[in-house]
Structure 1
Amino acid sequence: MPRLPLLIDTDTGSDDAVALLLAVSGGDVRAVTTVAGNVPLPTATRNALITLELAGHSGIPVHPGCDRPMTRPPSTAQHVHGPDGMGDTGLPDPAGRPADGHAVDVLLTLPRSRPGELTLVTLGPLTNLAAALLRDRELLTRFRHVYCMAGAADLCGNVSPTAEYNVWADPEAAAVVLRAATPGRVTWIGWDVSRRYAVMTPGDQRRLEALGTPLAAFAHRINRAVADWARDVTGLAGYNLPDPVAMAVALHPELVLGSERAHVAVALGDETRGQLVIDRRRAAPPPNLTLVRQVDEPGFKRLLLDALTPACLTEGPA
């Protein structure tokens, strides 16, 4: 069966890196674009290169993009992922270098050359995609589908009481994407999904360690800082994996057990910054998004462990 052609936009922190491992295991990644978010742009680009090299896919081009939100100063999540975005595990510099070409140009040109072929998966703030949409209002129609790890449909946030980080970090960009979105083409998988269906419990973590592969060891090590934050701040029974579960849905839509179509906007005010405004009234405007609400948790975790089981082509950190 042909692998799903993917274009991935990421602010590569620790869970983004695991999502990249899932992507190269089950998809055909044509390019990776990076954006400021979890970490500054150079760090996000470095982490993407490291991850792809570890997985034996150094040939995938990594294109740096926007280094700050559209109108706001940058606000990283290094307090969650560590200053290096990878749990401060002392990863060596990548052998490769970023590819030529700005991420926004790549987002514009690749789908034009392959209309309807590529699936776009965004794992960070939506700055690159919004910048591309300002140049091509029909851009979303050129992809087979667009999946975004974005928002919190239950209004239980991780960076504020009601907002998820990717939307909160650049809400103006999220608003641009929402104005262009249609539910048959754009699906958001939010923080609420990972908090309920993608938590790596202590038992899951032991199973991950027991795989004994370089990829599994890498995935476990880089998420140790996130595990501490999840325990102390969100009170989860382990660390959750928002970006990997979003990637899993893109690769295997059959994992979705519940979803809704709704008209969604985003709050831009200081007190409610990044909160989704979901209009479920009978008289609401037409839906613009599909919101994933429930995922097959055992199926997701099997997929994750399977992706980390094959021996890596290059030795990674133990």
Structure 2
Amino acid sequence: MRNFLIDTDTASDDAVAIMMALAAPDVRVLGLTTVAGNVGLEQATRNALLTAEICNSDVPVFAGADRPLTRPHEDAHWFHGKDGLGDRGYPAPKRAPERESTVEAIPRLAEAEPGLTLVTLGPLTNIALALGRDPKLAERIGRCVVMGGAPNCEGNVTPAAEYNIWVDPEAARAVFRSKVPIEMVGWHVSRGPSVLTDDEIAAIEALGTAKAKFAIESNSRARDAYRVQTGEVGLSLADPTAMAVALDRSVGLSWSRHRVAIESESELTRGMTVVDRLNVNADANNAHVWNAAAGEHEGADILWTLDSGRFKAMLKAALAA
């Protein structure tokens, strides 16, 4: 069994990603850690518990940071709805979160299960705080799949930045500068051929499972918002693309390794993920393969293209289970 730890600002696409992980037969989800992002912390925690309930899972849920490291929290209600799940009036979950905080739980779980896969679906506040608490945390993480960033493309919250990085750029900078082995899955891979068409959405609804119904229904607001945002028709699921990569890295078709610089001072480019794809800076971290023995820790593996057909097949299979 592979051990996963999922950090989430649980809104509609986060919920689908969580369902994919919980459906994977060879994955044990050690916990869901929640953070303020798409919605406030209390709502994100509630949504994580509800998602687990729909999956008949008792995975522990730990509440984390209720605001970015140094900035006020700015939500994404306009995209996901005030409750993050399309404002469909879902009932309260039956379980409560654990008493242990996220900043305590992440280092403990990583120490207990070294080599775990950390999947981050929201702002990186919890991870930055946990790294500050436990300097050895980074070396206990086998993979860290980050949904975030807009490498060499337009952002979804400003022209320069993707939401998860923009919300807490100071936390993102700390994480990307750490020795955590990051695989960055930017917003761009959830667009184009990765967007679910109307026919593909109908096919998921036709599965008839509670998970399939919840996945499409909770993303109804996001589906409309994506059309307003981009002019494109369909359902874009950023967090599930990252989860697909976490479940099977080979679904990512083209990768390269680069130093990722996070802008945190300029308001114009706040949260920009600056990637030197052409290596114009002649930086040793801009390599095709990460050489751990050489100590090249400051780069991240950047995913450029995704096998969208396999992603959609993985998504459908998880929702049918």
Q: Identify the TM-score tier after normalising by the shorter chain.
A: over 0.9
User: Which residue identity does 1:41 align to in structure 2?
Assistant: L
**Does residue 1:76 correspond to 2:75, yes or no?**
yes
Question: What is aligned with 2:136?
Answer: 138
Distance 2:192 2:224 in 1: 18
Distance 2:185 2:193 in 1: 11
Distance 2:154 2:191 in 1: 10
Tell me, yes or no, if the aligned pair for 1:154 and 1:192 is still in contact at 8 Å: no
Tell me, yes or no, if the aligned pair for 2:118 and 2:141 is still in contact at 8 Å: yes
Shift of 1:107: 1.0
1:230 pairs with one of 226, 230, 238: 226
Question: What is aligned with 1:221?
Answer: 217
Distance 1:39 1:192 in 2: 22
The 10-residue stretch of structure 1 (48-57 or 283-292) with the greater mean CA deviation from structure 2: 283-292
The 10-residue stretch of structure 1 (196-205 or 47-56) with the greater mean CA deviation from structure 2: 196-205
* TM-score, normalised via structure 2 length: 0.92
Q: How big is each residue's C-alpha offset from its partner over 1:29-81, in whole Å with a ceiling of 9 and x where there is no partner? A: 01110000000000000000000001010x21100000000000000001100
Distance 1:235 1:190 in 2: 19
Tell me, yes or no, if the aligned pair for 1:8 and 1:122 is still in contact at 8 Å: yes
Runs of 4+ in 1 over 6 A off after TM superposition: none
How much identity, in percent, do the aligned residues show? 45
Tell me, yes or no, if the aligned pair for 1:187 and 1:292 is still in contact at 8 Å: yes
Question: What is aligned with 2:311?
Answer: 300
Residue correspondence of structure 1 range 103-252 to structure 2 within 5 A = 103-116=102-115, 118-181=116-179, 185-252=181-248
SS state of the match for residue 240, structure 1? coil
Tell me, yes or no, if the aligned pair for 1:156 and 1:162 is still in contact at 8 Å: yes
The 10-residue stretch of structure 1 (203-212 or 220-229) with the greater mean CA deviation from structure 2: 203-212
Tell me, yes or no, if the aligned pair for 1:108 and 1:132 is still in contact at 8 Å: yes
Question: What is aligned with 2:292?
Answer: none
Question: What is aligned with 2:269?
Answer: 272
The 10-residue stretch of structure 1 (269-278 or 163-172) with the greater mean CA deviation from structure 2: 269-278
Q: How big is each residue's C-alpha offset from its partner over 1:180-211, in whole Å with a ceiling of 9 and x where there is no partner? A: 146xx210101011113421111211111111
Tell me, yes or no, if the aligned pair for 2:152 and 2:274 is still in contact at 8 Å: no
Q: How big is each residue's C-alpha offset from its partner over 1:93-137, in whole Å with a ceiling of 9 and x where there is no partner? A: 000000111111111111112222x11000000000001112223
Unaligned ranges ≥5, structure 2: 287-298
User: Which residue identity does 1:98 align to in structure 2?
Assistant: P
Q: How many residues align?
A: 304
Question: What is aligned with 1:54?
Answer: 54
Distance 1:105 1:161 in 2: 36
Distance 1:210 1:113 in 2: 41
User: Which residue identity does 1:53 align to in structure 2?
Assistant: E
The 10-residue stretch of structure 1 (192-201 or 82-91) with the greater mean CA deviation from structure 2: 192-201
Unaligned ranges ≥5, structure 1: 311-318
Distance 2:212 2:188 in 1: 25
Question: CA, structure 1 residues 181+291, in 2 after alignment: closer, same or farther (shift >3 Å)?
Answer: farther
Tell me, yes or no, if the aligned pair for 1:19 and 1:243 is still in contact at 8 Å: yes
Tell me, yes or no, if the aligned pair for 1:53 and 1:94 is still in contact at 8 Å: yes
Question: What is aligned with 2:320?
Answer: 309
User: Which residue identity does 2:260 align to in structure 1?
Assistant: V
User: Which residue identity does 2:317 align to in structure 1?
Assistant: D
User: Which residue identity does 1:305 align to in structure 2?
Assistant: K
Distance 1:290 1:196 in 2: 21
User: Which residue identity does 1:40 align to in structure 2?
Assistant: G
Aligned CA RMSD, in angstroms, stands at: 1.2
User: Which residue identity does 1:83 align to in structure 2?
Assistant: K
Shift of 1:155: 2.7
Question: What is aligned with 1:314?
Answer: none
Q: How big is each residue's C-alpha offset from its partner over 1:221-262, in whole Å with a ceiling of 9 and x where there is no partner? A: 000000110111112221211100100100011111111101
**Does residue 1:281 correspond to 2:280, yes or no?**
yes
SS state of the match for residue 119, structure 1? strand
* TM-score, normalised via structure 1 length: 0.93
